[in-house]
Amino acid sequence: MTARIIDGKAIAKKVRDEVAERVRGLVSAHGRAPGLDVVLVGEDAASVVYTRNKEKAAIEVGVRGRLHRLPAETTEAELLSVIRKLNEDPTVDGILVQLPLPKHIREQSVLDAIDPDKDVDGFHPHNAGLLLSGRPHLVPCTPVGCMRLLREAGVELSGARAVVVGRSNIVGKPMAQLLLAANATVTIAHSKTRDLPGLCREADVLIAAIGRAKMIGADFVKPGAAVIDVGINRGEDGKLCGDVDYEPAKEKASAITPVPGGVGPMTIACLLENTLRAFEKREQKA
Ligand code: GUN
């Protein structure tokens, strides 16, 4: 069997079109556009590209997007002061601080400082707790994007065995919660898991979020499984590749996401959805 390729680029376009349509309605109902403020500290090349893309994608759907670039020497106190200003600014609905931060800044103290109602990354402990309690508000964008890909691909989750490889706060843990909420039977695997290939072979739905190029080979894939590849790595040949060894894996899976063009484009699209969600909740309160 050769797998159906889940076209993340096309699905992300559909999501962005839906967002653009909703923005038009929100602007006419509330007299202002949702605002997304992205903060980048330092010059990390990948982060510069990601944050520019976030700003650009926001503006394209009619969201007021703004990128704040701070020098690498910015102190934690200075960054916290920028966040406080954005928290207090009524025209700001979403705040995203791009990770990783320079080493002298404590990531958790920065993430904790963001107003949970503006936390469009969903990384604040308040939002993580709401997701865990089954009352999700702002949920991390990458796992939400993966769920949308599974839905668009028509993958049945209720009663399915799902294995999530990776336990980060950004992807693995929230991904597991979303699959559980969709009635899958979920296992979180990680670097200490025994017999990882054997465990993965039990999965009807396999989510790879480890950050190691092509680590998930065809021998990890149950015939007919749906495979979602969250990894973005640079392979030995210098090309972008996922955590899944795509060519052999696609001969066993029933549906699979490519890298690039799978999960990647969905993350920004879901960030825009979160910005609208934050806007709507804040307008309801106002
Ligand atoms: N760095 C890599 N992925 C992400 C993300 O989803 N959000 C933020 N803020 N930084 C990141």
Q: What is the pLDDT of residues 109-167, one digit of tens each?
A: 999 999 999 999 999 999 999 999 999 999 999 999 999 999 999 999 999 999 999 99
DSSP letters spanning 211-247: --TT-B-GGG--TT-EEEE---EE-TTSSEE-SB-HH
Regarding pTM above 0.95, the answer is yes
**Which of 7, 37, 93, 98 is an active site residue?**
98
CA-to-CA separations, 184 to 52, 64, 105, 128, 162, in angstroms, rounded: 36, 37, 38, 19, 6
* C-alpha of residue 121 to centroid of ligand 1, in Å: 8
CA-to-CA separations, 82 to 22, 63, 76, in angstroms, rounded: 29, 21, 10
Is a pLDDT exceeding 80 seen at residue 91? yes
* C-alpha of residue 98 to centroid of ligand 1, in Å: 5
Residue 141 in contact with ligand 1 by CB distance below 6 A:
yes
Cα–Cα distance between 229 and 222 in angstroms, integer? Answer: 15
What is residue 100's predicted lDDT score, i.e. its pLDDT? 96
Say whether 85 is catalytic.
no
> What domains lie within the chain, and their CATH numbers?
31-116 (3.40.50.10860), 141-264 (3.40.50.720)
Residue 114 in contact with ligand 1 by CB distance below 6 A:
no
DSSP β-bridge partners for residue 67: 38
Cα–Cα distance between 144 and 15 in angstroms, integer? Answer: 12
**Which of 7, 117, 119, 121 is an active site residue?**
121
Say whether 121 is catalytic.
yes
What is residue 286's predicted lDDT score, i.e. its pLDDT? 81
What is residue 40's predicted lDDT score, i.e. its pLDDT? 98
Q: Which atom of ligand 1 is nearest to the CA of 170?
A: 6
| Residue 227 near residue 249 (C-beta atoms within 8 A) | yes
| Structure-block tokens of residue 241 | 């590749």
Is a pLDDT exceeding 90 seen at residue 1? no
Mean pLDDT for all residues in the chain: 97
Region of residue 232 (left: phi > 0; alpha: psi -120 to 50; beta: else): beta
What is residue 243's predicted lDDT score, i.e. its pLDDT? 98
**208, 211, 215, 217 alpha-carbon torsion, rounded to 10°:** 30
Mutate to test the pocket of ligand 1, among 40, 97, 170, 274 (most ligand atoms within 8 A of CB): 170
- The β-bridge relationship of strands 233-234 and 161-165 is unpaired
Q: Cis bond leading into 71, ω under 30°?
A: no
Cα–Cα distance between 83 and 161 in angstroms, integer? Answer: 41
Q: What is the pLDDT of residues 8-21, one digit of tens each?
A: 999 999 999 999 99
Closest residue (by CA) to atom 11 of ligand 1?
Answer: 99
Q: Which atom of ligand 1 is nearest to the CA of 96?
A: 9
Residue 274 in contact with ligand 1 by CB distance below 6 A:
no
Residue 99 in contact with ligand 1 by CB distance below 6 A:
yes
Q: What is the pLDDT of residues 48-82, one digit of tens each?
A: 999 999 999 999 999 999 999 999 999 999 999 99
* C-alpha of residue 90 to centroid of ligand 1, in Å: 24
Closest residue (by CA) to atom 9 of ligand 1?
Answer: 98
